Amino acid sequence: METGDILLLTALMFAGATLYSSVGHAGASAYLAAMALVGVAPATMRPTALVLNIIVSSIATWRYVRAGWFSWPTLWPFLIAAMPMAFIGGGIHLPGEYYRPFVGIVLWIAAARLFLPGEIGTTDRSARAPLWGALIAGGVIGLLSGLTGTGGGIFLSPLLIFLRWSETRTVSGISAAFILANSASGLAGNIASVGSIPAEVPYFIVAVVAGALIGTTLGISTLARKMILTALALVLLVAGGKLLFS
């Protein structure tokens, strides 16, 4: 990997970790977007994104749980269905001609989610998700997580918000813990893929740790993030388009 590509990836991953962790996410779609922009091979993209996801979501989970932004009763039905499906998805190898457009669509979904107004919702009224609904949703999201190398937060958060299955304050912590478990399960499903992680990954780890510490601080302080999330959505649109049409 060229020095310029390493510096660019490191900067983009720092930005992705900062922005995503501010809303309880780990940034996998941003890491995938960054790697797509510099032409990283699909076989390298998924395990690298999952490793970085595990690191960032660990920090985010710890900080949001400590701040009281978490609900185990809301999380567990989604989690018990998602983890085995993420493991299965992680073991499925998609050829590059299928993987690239599939991830491109995921990036566009992430962008659409970030463009939505009221990013983290405005109501604190919620009702517990029905068990059958949480199990079905968790299973589908888990499979998508394993297949694409993401943690599934880009799907879980809007679901919780739109259906009012969680209070506003707890969405970030629930998403962070969900992403942590799914990312670990997805990576375990294809542990051999770890051998494809580039030698430059220590630089990326330092960048995302720094980003996660800053992002979770912003998230806990409820700093307004609409403008920077909109900018990130534009990056995801460009990267998703490159994957879909290149």
Chunked mean pLDDT (size 10), the chain, 246 residues = 91 93 88 90 89 96 93 94 93 80 83 65 64 95 87 85 81 93 90 85 97 91 64 76 78
| Predicted pLDDT of residue 119 | 46
Residue 183 to residue 83: CA distance in whole angstroms: 9
Residue 99 to residue 81: CA distance in whole angstroms: 24
| Predicted pLDDT of residue 232 | 67
Q: Which domain holds residue 38?
A: 3-245
CA angle 30, 153, 193 (to 5 degrees): 65
Residue 225 to residue 23: CA distance in whole angstroms: 9
pTM of the model: 0.85
| Predicted pLDDT of residue 122 | 45
Domain count, the chain: 1
| Predicted pLDDT of residue 78 | 96
